[in-house]
Structure 1
């Protein structure tokens, strides 16, 4: 029997959707294979749940924040960015409204990293998230220069 496909949602949380300068990175605590690696916060879409609703729920559970969503960082497949052979992640740009984020679940550290800083690319990202980091950073550079 074929294992069921897992749809995941994540947020590239920026300090501002209009004039972004920093990206929030979250360091995982588990599973052991991913502990200590950095990722976009988010999680699995529950049965019957919409993608954006799932993202809002996950960000509240993991970081204790409410966000305003921007546009989706479109991945190479209709399901988004491949995570492995049976899961993919759709990612939205987001801006926190209200409270400060806290590492409540699944993470032991949160870090705001300047988008223009090479340290962003130097963080040990989960391998599947690295192309998304590049796409977000590239998209911000195009937006800043007025390109589409």
Structure 2
């Protein structure tokens, strides 16, 4: 299973996290926005679609920079999580498919409050965008 996610980075180098809704797997945990890549779909196209569906924002494909990936077992399946960095979008992110949103600097994020696949991405993101 291939999943795409994004670190939306604002001018203050804060990153947007969304809280998983009640009733979903890992409800209440904070994650990078994104979702599953559908069969035949390019990862960037999937991420653009997911960001529109989940946050109501428009992201141009050139604004997505591949950053890093994680590999994890999820239930009885294996997931490859592709993380992109994005610094340009249109619209104000809204929690359309999440309980809440919050902007944090990387050093403010608590890995214990995130899904296991997102946790190893924090150190890699820190190396790419910095935490302060």
TM-score (norm 2): 0.84
1:23 counterpart = 2:23? no
Q: Secondary structure of 1:126's match?
A: coil
Structure ID, larger Rg: 1
1:111 counterpart = 2:102? yes
Q: Which moves more between the two structures, 81-90 or 133-142?
A: 133-142
d(CA) in 2 for partners of 1:102 and 1:9?
19
d(CA) in 2 for partners of 1:52 and 1:136?
18
Q: Which residue of 2 aligns with 1:40?
A: 32
Q: Secondary structure of 1:88's match?
A: strand
- Unpaired segments ≥5 residues, structure 2: none
- Unpaired segments ≥5 residues, structure 1: 1-5, 76-80
1:72 counterpart = 2:66? yes
TM-score (norm 1): 0.76
Q: Which residue of 1 aligns with 2:9?
A: 14
Superimposed CA distance per residue, residues 72-122 of structure 1 (whole angstroms, 9 cap, x where no aligned partner): 1123xxxxx1131511111100124221001101x101001123xx32246
d(CA) in 2 for partners of 1:32 and 1:70?
27
d(CA) in 1 for partners of 2:88 and 2:56?
10
Distance 1:61 1:33, change over 3 A: closer
The alpha-carbon deviation at position 30 of structure 1 amounts to 4.8
d(CA) in 1 for partners of 2:66 and 2:123?
14
Aligned residues of 1:9 and 1:44 also touching (Cα < 8 A): yes
1:131 counterpart = 2:128? no
Distance 1:87 1:97, change over 3 A: same
Give me the CA root mean square deviation: 2.2
Alignment size in residue pairs? 127
